Amino acid sequence: MTTLNCIAVDDEPLALQLVASFVEKTPFLRLVGSYSSAVAALKGLQQQESPVDVLFLDIQMPDLNGLELARVLDRGPGPNRGPRVIFTTAFNQYALDGYKVDALDYLLKPFTYEEFLRAAQKAQRYAEAEYPTPVPAATITAEPTEDFLYLKVEYQMVRVPYNDILYIEGLKDYIKVYRRSEPRPLLSLQSLKALEERLPKQFMRIHRSYIVALNQITSVGRGTVQIANETIPISEGYRESFDQYIRRWK
Range in 51-55, 176-180, 200-204, 241-245 with the lowest mean pLDDT: 241-245
Residues of the chain with CATH 2.40.50.1020: 144-249
First to last CA, the chain: 37
By the 8 A CB rule, do 71 and 46 touch? no
pLDDT tier at 118 (50, 70, 90 boundaries)? very high
Residues of the chain with CATH 3.40.50.2300: 4-130
pLDDT tier at 250 (50, 70, 90 boundaries)? low
Query: DSSP letters along 21-65, please?
Result: HHHHH-TTEEEEEEESSHHHHHHHHHH-SSPP-EEEE-S--SSS-
The CATH number for 4-130, chosen from 3.40.640.10, 3.40.50.2300, 3.40.50.880, 3.40.50.620, is: 3.40.50.2300
Alpha carbon distance 211, 187 (integer Å): 15
Q: In 3D, which of 218, 223, 229 has the Cα closest to residue 243?
A: 223
By the 8 A CB rule, do 171 and 207 touch? no
Alpha carbon distance 72, 84 (integer Å): 12
Compute CA 54 distance to the chain's CA centroid, rounded to the nearest angstrom. 13
Residue 126, CB-side half-sphere exposure with 13 Å CA sphere: 17
Specify the DSSP class assigned to residue 158: E
* Pairing verdict, β 217-220 and 224-227: antiparallel
Alpha carbon distance 12, 117 (integer Å): 21
What is the predicted pLDDT for the residue at 144?
A: 47
pLDDT at position 77 over 80: no
pLDDT tens string 38-58: 999 999 988 888 889 999 999
With residues binned 3-state (H G I as helix, E B as strand, rest as coil), the percentages for the chain, rounded to 5, are: 35, 30, 35
The DSSP element (H or E) to which 76 belongs, if any, is none
**The CATH homologous superfamily of the domain defined by 144-249:** LytTr DNA-binding domain (2.40.50.1020)
The pTM of this model reads 0.51
Alpha carbon distance 123, 106 (integer Å): 12
Q: How far is CA 84 from CA 51, 54, 178, 187, in A?
A: 11, 5, 37, 30
By the 8 A CB rule, do 233 and 223 touch? yes
